[in-house]
Structure 1
Amino acid sequence: MIPSTDDIETFGIEIGSDEAGQRIDKLLADALEDVSRSQLQDWIRDGHVLVNGAAVKPNYKVAVSDEVVVRPPDPAPTELVPENIPLDVVYEDGDVIVVNKPRGMVVHPAVGHPSGTLVNALMYHCKDLSGINGEIRPGIVHRIDKDTSGLLMAAKNDVAHTSLAAQLKEHSVTRRYVAVVHGVLEHDQGTVDAPIGRDPQDRKLFTVTDKGARHAVTHFVVTERFPEFTVLELLLETGRTHQIRVHMKFIGHPLVGDPVYGRSKGRAMEVPGQALHAAVLGFTHPRTGERLTFEAPLPSEMQSFIEQLRLM
């Protein structure tokens, strides 16, 4: 399997014995629910799918050890329009805007989500955004998942974007999250240092793996314990896709309400969406050099869930 359409990016697949002999268009269509087989055939014909570095036809039958690289096309630029979507703006000046993104909002347009995104809202609100990430992702320096709420910064010009991106690369941006996880963690604090890559068994998912993985580090501190749940504060040292969700599952304490990496047990008590909130964001202002730190309170449904646990 391969990523959900709100999270598609360039990725590679090495064909195993289970996939060998299948048509490449069918293989990808079975894996990617939101994209039709005919659309995938267009991707293949247009060179967005390569096998061993070469273009193939939609009826190509994959073989063991084939290296398939998929580069989904961006939505057509004409689809990206400003939309009058309310934003919770935490900070704004001529260079940077910080917003408290609600759960359920996709950050930028992608296949299956051409509109209603944070980018559409920012284009209406800001008018000017940096162009480094192209027409589909203007201003976007980093992302948080659709079902994660909280703080996210965007750049209004290329100078600001370059500075913020460099800070992310050197790990000087502070990103603290609050999460509720299943189970009771014994240690008051700890670090998960485990590489993350595509799950070879299900490429819709990410997992801790040594194959094709990237370095990933998450620090955590326990803030509250309950009989079946734990509230954590987490600090990201790196920023891999689904990092907190994958690392928490890896240590046996998946996020409450996570539809992909979570558990079904106790779902009646869970919040709508995963219990993960980007609560603190800190960075050095790209123009003034001042260190800025912002906080966003927990969304009401997550706060209510924690309060329910305290009453039990």
Structure 2
Amino acid sequence: MPHPDLEKIHHDITAWYSANARDLPWRGPAADPWAVMVSEFMLQQTPVVRVRPVWESWMERWPTPAALAAEPVAEAVRAWGRLGYPRRALRLHAAAVVITDEHGGKVPGTEAELLALPGIGTYTAAAIACFAFKVPTVVVDTNIRRVHARLVSGRALPEQNQNAAELALAARLLPAAGPGDTVGTALANDWNIAVMELGALVCTARSPRCEDCPVLNQCAWIAAGRPEPHYKPKGQPWHGTDRQVRGAMMAVLRHSPGPVNREELLGAPDLAVVASKPRITVSARQGDPAHEAWVTLHALPALAEQRERALDSLLADGLAQQGATGIRLPR
């Protein structure tokens, strides 16, 4: 047993969740497996506050995998908006096509079947199986790893990269649920989402609210005197990176009704001149999303080689396509 008070910890954390869980639409009784799957794709490295409005628009437009699969992939990329990491939109669309063609339009319910879908890795397969199909499986994300590290291992942060020891610890902490054990299965599923929520709301990375923690008295990190992290976390930079340039180019492509010339994406021409050319799809009107996207792109202090690199990576990733008339979102 990884903790002497494990049964009490299970009770205290799941009871805390029952009283404090956020009211999120993909957790509600009306959320089907597709709704859960879309949320899991969108929530990867993206906070709930940014995901929720996009998820709601997405589900209204594409309430089933078949509805998304019937649309061009460019529409999925456009609808992804500014969530970031837009390759997720490509993969979600590809997964919807496979679900429609090979699973009768229904999201499959086993981890093995989920892992076979495009864009789904170990965590996402486990999360969908657990949250959509009530499979008592081990779910381990960054929030869960951090709670486990503090509560049981006495460390301020988990390892920088997930390892086998952390997975083994998560498996030992998961409430037992044998075949036909509905009570154990329910507790295992509640445990996964409850620990994840505790990490997101209370046991946060930078400023944990320990006074609000339901297992404060059982926490090994607190008992050890809150030792400092054994490494210094490094945030992901944005300004000046290829990711920033890629994002600005994607904004232009999303808001352009037609293809865009490569030179216009790579250069920084005068917008009044650009807007006067009929073959260029940028509007000079203030407040127009296309115009604002062009302004943002051309205002970046990016050297020519960085712009070339960013655009070539978009083409290589399938997020943009070069055609006879210019560059556009994938069809």
TM-score, length-normalised on structure 1? 0.26
- Bigger Rg, which one: 2
Higher RCO by CA contacts (8 Å cutoff, separation 6 or greater): 2
* Greater strand proportion: 1
TM-score, length-normalised on structure 2? 0.25
